[in-house]
Amino acid sequence: MTRRPPSRGPSGRPAPKGPSQRQLRAGELVRHALVEILREEDLDDPVLSGVSVTVTEVRVSPDLRHAICFIQPLGGENAAEVTAAMNRASKFFRGRLGRMIDMRATPELKFLHDETFDAAARMDRLFDDPRVRQDLARAAEGERDGDGEGD
């Protein structure tokens, strides 16, 4: 089995993995602007009225024309409905963004529910399980005794 050499960028160096610095900056710019819009605007959609929405992350495509916005409604309630309402209002948000940010093109927005909070809650529940706590305590005790099981 032959190994493939790592892909190379234009400079001859290995191609970067993950988003570029430019994408990260653009994502933060869009995220901050969306937070301002959500804070200042009264949205007509009944699903969004009176709901506090957190924009946790914005990932921008390499050409900066598309942005995936991860959101979490306060308390995580009605996440599917709130996400759908945000997607219905995406053209409104894009129009406001175009006036607020200084980018060549305003990215098209797609909103997704950020499930990292749910995953963290599941992990907390798992670590609170007495059987898991018992196994963790046993593993920590084994490391202190130096029996090498953890290696």
Residue predicted with more confidence, 122 or 38 = 38
Containing structural domain, residue 137: 115-146
The whole-model pTM stands at: 0.70
| Domain shared by 122 and 100, yes or no | no
| One domain, residues 108 and 40 | yes
Same domain? 106 vs 36: yes
12 occurs within a structural domain: no
Residue 143 has pLDDT above 80, yes or no: no
pLDDT bin (cut points 50, 70, 90) of residue 58 is very high
Residue whose tokens read 């927005």? 109
In angstroms, rounded to a whole number, what is the distance separating the alpha carbons of residues 64 and 22?
9
- pLDDT at residue 10 in the model: 61
Residues 46 and 59 in one domain: yes
Q: What is the pLDDT of residue 24?
A: 92
Q: How many domains does the chain have?
A: 2
Query: Per-residue pLDDT averaged across 9-38, rounded?
Result: 84
Reduced to 3 states (helix: H, G, I; strand: E, B; else coil), residue 113 is strand
Residue 15 within any structural domain of the chain: no
